[in-house]
Structure 1
Amino acid sequence: MNPKTITPASVEIRQIQFNEAFLVIPLFDQYRVFYNQVSDIPRAQAFIEARLQQNESVIFVAFAKQDGPLHPAGFTQLYPTYSSVRTVKNWILNDLFVEAAYRKSGLGEALIRKAMAFATATGAHFLQLETATDNFTAQKLYERIGFQQQQPGADFLLYRYPLI
């Protein structure tokens, strides 16, 4: 399947629970390798299972159909952050990864939009993310969606999407 042919009918994005951690572990390991870490499936498994078991993060997995059943092709992981002054929970979109075969197919944007809808539904005031200063493809996507750069950094750029 050519990634450009992905349609809503061929993709399903849903939040996974602790007993489904196995669905995201290989993708999470690939994500870490993308950021110059050594592949370590046991470490990836321990980290993901701990986040889900302790309700410390929310993970959405994108399942794509390619010549057969749906399979995990991308994910995003959100962490809560709190504002005492506003007395609200906001969300940090900390991890976003799409398998190479599905990049530039709209899958990454679909995951971000799912995260935006989730953050809105939970009453958050904003969704925040960071990206490397040299990740120009991601920066273009975030800005096209409506994320606003907050402050330049040495290695990473901070973006926020206001929800209210």
Structure 2
Amino acid sequence: MDKKRASQQEHVTFNSLINRMEIFRVNNTQGNLIFDLFDQYRVFYKQESDIKLAEDFIQARLDNNESVIFVAVINDKSKPVGFTQLYPKYSSARAVKNWILNDLYVAKEHRKQGIGEKLIKMAMAFAKENNAKFVELSTAIDNYTAQSLYEQIGFEIQNPEIDFYTYRISLT
């Protein structure tokens, strides 16, 4: 019985959180909403914490209109709990603009509550409204939790050898 009550309590908390959560596009005066989350995101990917770098990087993307960022907030917009950042991807041959979902991060204490999925779906809706044919993303080979989420939403692993190879050269 205690397990059942605990499960019901988690469900209530989950519903309560989602009901009071809002997701919106960040404008160039709202970068401060995600500076800390972006720093945490970088740390998750084994980069050193550097809040000044996070602030400068995000603010530059917003000021130069180089990315689209959505933030999930709770408690009447006072607590950011996750974000996603999209970059445009152009195809000259197809004459279209698609989107790369480059960053997705949900604060550790707010994971497994549907926030990441809602952020992705918001990004997908934005891309579709802007006539994109697809949204693509990459994730670490060992990030099984993210892979499961992406596949659950409908993303499919692409085989780069079908049409094109990707090459890279270091400039440092």
TM-score > 0.5, shorter chain as reference: yes
* Structure-2 change in CA distance of 1:82 and 1:25 (3 Å): same
Provide TM-score, normalisation by structure 1.
0.86
Q: Is 2:109 aligned against 1:109?
A: no
2:81 aligns with 73
SS at match of 2:146: helix
Cα 1:80–1:8 change in 2 (3 A) is same
Q: Name 2:166's counterpart in structure 1.
A: none
Q: Return 5+ residue gaps in structure 2 as ranges.
A: 1-8, 161-172
Code of the aligned partner of 1:137 = T
Q: How many angstroms apart in 2 are the aligned matches of 1:135 and 1:46?
A: 27
User: For 1:144-163, what aligned pairs fall within 5 Å after superposition?
Assistant: 144-151=152-159
The equivalences for 1:16-31 within 5 A come to 16-31=26-41
Take 1:151 and 1:12, find their aligned partners in 2: how far apart are those partners? 35
1:85 and 1:21, CA in 2 relative to 1: closer, same or farther beyond 3 A? same
What is the distance in 2 between the residues matched to 1:44 and 1:63?
Answer: 19
- The residue aligned with 1:37 is 47
Alpha-carbon displacement from aligned partner over 1:45-80 (angstroms, at most 9, x marks no partner): 110011110000000000023xx7641000000000
Output the aligned Cα RMSD. Answer: 1.7
Aligned identity (percent) is 55
Q: 1:49 aligns with which of 34, 40, 59?
A: 59
1:88 match? 96
CA apart distance, 1:5: 3.5
Residues 4 and 105, structure 1, Cα contact 8 Å, conserved in 2: yes
Instruction: Tell me whether 120-129 or 80-89 shows the greater mean CA deviation.
Output: 80-89
Q: Residue 86 of structure 1: CA displacement?
A: 1.6
**Comparing both structures, which one devotes a greater share of its residues to strand?**
1
| Structure with max Cα Rg | 2
Q: Deviations over 1:100-155 (max 9, x none)?
A: 11100000000000000000000000000000000001101100100010037xxx
Q: 1:5 aligns with which of 8, 12, 15?
A: 15
What letter is aligned with 1:109?
Answer: E
User: Contact 2:17/2:74 (CA < 8 Å) preserved in 1?
Assistant: no
Q: CA deviation at 1:8?
A: 4.1
